[in-house]
Amino acid sequence: MIVPYSQVLVLAGLLFLMGMFCLLSRRNLIMMVLGLEIMLNASAVAFVGAALRWQHLDGQAVAIFIIAVAAAEVSIGLGLIVWIYRRTGTVDAGCIESDACRID
Amino acid sequence: MNWMIFSPEICCLATALVFLFLSMAPVDSRRDYIVAIALTGVAVCASLAGIHAQGELFHGTYRIDLFSQVFKSMLLMGLFLVVVISSGLNGIERRYHPEFYMLLTICTLALMMLVSAVHILTLYVALELSSYSLYILVFLRKGRDQGTSSGMKFFLIGASASATMLFGLALLYGATNAAYFRVLIEVIPGVIHQPEVILGLALALCGFFFKMAVFPFHFWAPDVYEGAAHQVAAYISTASKVAVIAVLLRMAALTGGASTHLVHFLAILAIISMTVGNLTAIAQKDLKRLLAFSSIAHAGYVLVGILCISPQGNTSAIFYALTVLLLKFTCFLVVVQVAFDGENIEIDRLAGLHRRSPIMALALMTALFGLAGIPPTIGFTGKLLIFTAAMEKGYFALVLIAMFNVVISLYYYLLVVRAAYLLEPAEGEGALAPMPGAGILAGTLVAAIVAIGIYPTPILELIRAAAMALG
């Protein structure tokens, strides 16, 4: 094995924290969903690294499923964002919360 | 492969497919309602008939035993009851009614898979499937203000909680090389003192704490209960909670009680959830928000049972799942009847309910007394079982704090009962015209709450056997 597991874990942890930071600091809904995606992919990286560590295929299978589930999550998330945009005219999370930028 | 033991899930899937096709047909709410009642009734019968089924499916990733079957029966009964109170369904636009039933059955299917899942992958896929259906259900609320912001909050918090859970599972898998729960159960107690295992377990539990609305993942609950249609809120507070209790029991059983850190972690969360839930509920004016905070408090009580990690603790948690299912559903039955137009209701609007509809007032009073833990209701029995299980493990302080919380909760439950029984109805409020059959349903529920409270032995025997199957 070329890359030690601990380094894969550091990469995955950093990716996860970056995704979480994006989710918490951004106010644009699309960017928040993007942050969620990064968090999911961080877990996929960790699973693939673990599969390589143990020479065991289960982790790879989980990673493939994560990609599929993440696609479903994006489609639902974007669908909901479109629905929110039609109803409120904004994709800014703060605005929707406080009714600050109502269009009508 | 033995498909017979998979029949409750197949019934559920078939129901979802029927509604997928009905959603493309011309709108007819009456037809949808009758079809939904018939099909979910069949599913309940299938699950009750298969309650002693046993076996493994899909390469051992899906385990069917008494534990999972008891929970599946409870879930399908929850689904059936929620469908029964959907006859008006005025909180959701008419053209979305088939979708409502479809998502509800898909969500139940996913929750049933969740309680049977014994592999990381099945667990994750089932959890995501159930969450995605619920996100959309919350958004379906009629009126532009109600569903949008609470649905958005639900989606963002929910998706981040499940991503966190997934990362925790990845850490667990990386540390142990085990994806099957039966392997994890053997490996984890040996490596529990490695930091990555503890971190992995704690993160993995976060996803379920979100679903159960345990502190610090409880922020969505009041908004979602308020923002979602009554029937959806009833579903979230009953069926979804029941399934999560099952998964938390399985996850807690993984540690085999070997980690005091984890027990302390759970105990702290339980105490904070109870206290925050009960204290905040006192200030609530909206009945659904009050019920949301009371579920947060009840999640804390269940955690006390779960963190015992003993057969008694597991039995008490399973029994409490049944308790929450019956009591919360009865409350929501009354909410749906009083607010038949689908609008939210303030507690003041219950004024004079005993004149307007005596049976609904009785049902509300019994359910609230049950939630407060007053004998001879099922709520008392449930709390007694949890507290005795915790006492046997020697968690005296925890039980004492829980007792204090029970007293606090009595205050706001009694405020609601006072509104229903002691206040005079507002001018022009005539007799309540509940949906047909609501009186019979309320009477049956009251009878069940009291009967199981007085004589729980047969159900307790079944649940004890189920807790043994958990291993």
Tell me the per-residue pLDDT of B437-463, one tens digit each, with 9 for 90 and over.
788 888 999 999 999 888 888 888 888
In this complex, do A93 and B163 lie within 8 Å of one another by their Cβ atoms? no
Predicted confidence at residue A74, as pLDDT, reads 92
Q: Which of A69-78, B42-51, B140-149, B270-279 has the lowest mean pLDDT?
A: B140-149
Q: How far is CA B231 from CA A41, B45, B227, in A?
A: 35, 22, 11
Q: ipTM more than 0.90? A: yes
User: In this complex, which of B121, B155, B171 lies closest to A80 when CB atoms are compared?
Assistant: B155
Residue B101: band (very low, low, confident or very high) from pLDDT cuts 50, 70, 90: very high
Residues A27-73 pLDDT 10s: 888 999 999 999 999 999 999 999 988 888 888 989 999 999 999 99
Distance, in angstroms, between A32 CA and closest chain B CA? 8
Task: Check the CA dihedral B450-B451-B457-B463 and report its sign.
Answer: negative
User: In this complex, which of A39, A66, A77 lies closest to B155 when CB atoms are compared?
Assistant: A77
Full residue range of the structural domain in which residue B344 is found: 3-470
Predicted confidence at residue A64, as pLDDT, reads 93
User: In this complex, which of B148, B166, B179 lies closest to A84 when CB atoms are compared?
Assistant: B148
A→B contacts (Cβ < 8 Å), by residue, are 5, 9, 12, 16, 19-20, 23, 29, 32-33, 36, 39-40, 42-43, 46-47, 49-50, 53-54, 56, 58-59, 61-62, 65-66, 69, 72-73, 76-77, 80, 83-84, 87-88, 93, 96-97
Count A/B contacts: CB-CB distance under 8 Å.
101
CA distance linking residue A28 with residue A95, whole number of Å: 10
Residue of B nearest to A62 (CA): B121
A82 CB-contact burial (10 Å; exposed 0-12 / middle 13-18 / buried 19+) = exposed
Predicted confidence at residue A97, as pLDDT, reads 66
B451 CB-contact burial (10 Å; exposed 0-12 / middle 13-18 / buried 19+) = middle
Q: Is the pLDDT of residue B107 over 90?
A: yes
The model's pTM is 0.91
Predicted confidence at residue B112, as pLDDT, reads 92
CA distance linking residue A68 with residue A60, whole number of Å: 13
Residue of B nearest to A31 (CA): B156
Residue B258: band (very low, low, confident or very high) from pLDDT cuts 50, 70, 90: low
Pick the residue of B167, B169, B194, B223 with the most A CBs within 10 A to test the interface with A by mutation: B167
Arithmetic mean of pLDDT, B323-343: 87
A33 CB-contact burial (10 Å; exposed 0-12 / middle 13-18 / buried 19+) = buried
Residues B237-256 pLDDT 10s: 998 889 999 988 888 887 77
User: In this complex, which of A12, A33, A88 lies closest to B148 when CB atoms are compared?
Assistant: A88
Arithmetic mean of pLDDT, B163-190: 86
User: In this complex, which of A36, A62, A88 lies closest to B159 when CB atoms are compared?
Assistant: A36
Q: Is the pLDDT of residue B378 over 80?
A: yes
In this complex, do A76 and B151 lie within 8 Å of one another by their Cβ atoms? no
- Which residue type, as a one-letter code, is found at position B278? N
Distance, in angstroms, between B167 CA and closest chain A CA? 5
In this complex, do B170 and A50 lie within 8 Å of one another by their Cβ atoms? yes
In this complex, do B156 and A32 lie within 8 Å of one another by their Cβ atoms? yes
Q: Is the pLDDT of residue B1 over 70?
A: no
In the 3-class helix/strand/coil scheme, how is chain A assigned residue by residue?
CCCCHHHHHHHHHHHHHHHHHHHHHCCEHHHHHHHHHHHHHHHHHHHHHHHHHHCCCHHHHHHHHHHHHHHHHHHHHHHHHHHHHHHHCCCEHHHHHHCCCCCC
Predicted confidence at residue B373, as pLDDT, reads 86
Counting the structural domains of chain B, the total is: 1
Q: Is the pLDDT of residue A100 over 60?
A: no
Chain B residues with beta carbon closer than 8 angstroms to that of A62: 120-121, 124, 170, 173, 179
Predicted confidence at residue B91, as pLDDT, reads 78
Q: Is the pLDDT of residue B218 over 60?
A: yes
CA distance linking residue B18 with residue B1, whole number of Å: 25
Q: Which of A93-97, B282-286, B351-355 has the lowest mean pLDDT?
A: A93-97
Query: How much is the mean pLDDT over chain A?
Result: 86
Residue A98: band (very low, low, confident or very high) from pLDDT cuts 50, 70, 90: low
Coil vs helix vs strand at B3: coil
Predicted confidence at residue B316, as pLDDT, reads 92
Predicted confidence at residue B427, as pLDDT, reads 67
Name which residue leads in pLDDT, B146 or B230: B230
Arithmetic mean of pLDDT, B178-191: 80
CA distance linking residue B248 with residue B209, whole number of Å: 9
Dmax of chain A from CA atoms?
A: 60
In this complex, do A50 and B135 lie within 8 Å of one another by their Cβ atoms? no
In this complex, do A88 and B174 lie within 8 Å of one another by their Cβ atoms? no
In this complex, do B166 and A40 lie within 8 Å of one another by their Cβ atoms? yes
Arithmetic mean of pLDDT, B166-188: 85
Closest CA to B445 of B295, B320, B329, B322: B329
* % of chain B at pLDDT higher than 70: 97
Arithmetic mean of pLDDT, B290-306: 90
Predicted confidence at residue B81, as pLDDT, reads 92
Q: Are B314 and B470 in contact (CB under 8 A)?
A: yes
User: In this complex, which of A42, A59, A80 lies closest to B135 when CB atoms are compared?
Assistant: A80
Dmax of chain B from CA atoms?
A: 68
Q: Which of B95-104, B206-215, B294-303 has the lowest mean pLDDT?
A: B206-215
Residue A85: band (very low, low, confident or very high) from pLDDT cuts 50, 70, 90: confident
Predicted confidence at residue B471, as pLDDT, reads 61
Coil vs helix vs strand at B100: helix
Q: Is the pLDDT of residue B8 over 80?
A: yes
Which domains are seen in chain A, by residue range?
5-98 (1.10.287.3510)
User: In this complex, which of B121, B149, B159 lies closest to A96 when CB atoms are compared?
Assistant: B149
CA distance linking residue B426 with residue B322, whole number of Å: 36
